[in-house]
Amino acid sequence: MSEAPVLSGDIEWRVEPGLLDYAAGLADMEARATAIAEGAARERVWLVEHPPLYTAGTSAQIADLLTPRFPVHETGRGGQYTYHGPGQRVVYLNIDLARRGRDVRRFVQALEEWTIAALADLGVSAWTSPGRVGVWTHGPDGAEAKIGAIGVRVRKWVTLHGLSINVAPDLAHYDGIVPCGISAFGVTSLADLGRPAGMEALDAALAAHAPAMLSAIETAPQRTISRT
């Protein structure tokens, strides 16, 4: 298991063992956000895996729920439908933006750059694309495919939800939805790309770049890596 990085403001870095029940995780995350807003808890970066499920963001369209083969959870994050399941690293961030610049756009950009930097350590070139949410790379067939998703919520300037990165999930599980409302492109994973990296390797890469991610939240945004 990767060592917890040294993060500014004594932020807790927590890696959850096993598969975390989604409802329990959501309740814990919301309680933590409330406590942070009240000055009663530390900020937290929480790395989890869930059993198979779909979540609906605030912009979800029911037509994009093709086959509800797994439980569907309504959630307050931005975005549309997405999938979570074993083999996918989900990172929940309870970060106090009230003391870090109050810039939600900068926060989202920092998460994008964090994902891209971690994937680069594992040999995957990734980028953002104008007009399409998430982090993208070339799939095995050479076409662009999503490898990382981002969806956040901010309440009393404390962030909830965060990002997900596909390590080795069952990609067929995405067939029940139109991921993030984008039907023209597929999804991929490290395993799909033939990268041998496992969850611990991804966690180590995320840990290595976590201090830079937090620094980016508080400084002028950098230009996001993008391709058209």
Is beta strand 144-155 parallel, antiparallel or unpaired with respect to 132-138? antiparallel
Task: End-to-end CA distance of the chain: give it in Å, rounded.
Answer: 36
- Token pair 């939600």 is found at 104
Cβ neighbors of 203 (< 8 A, separation 6 or more) are: 1, 2, 15, 47, 89
- Token pair 């309740």 is found at 27
Residues with catalytic roles: 180
Cβ neighbors of 223 (< 8 A, separation 6 or more) are: none
- Our measurement of the distance from residue 135's CA atom to the centroid of its chain's CA atoms, rounded to an integer in Å, reads 10
**CA torsion through residues 73, 78, 82, 84, sign:** negative
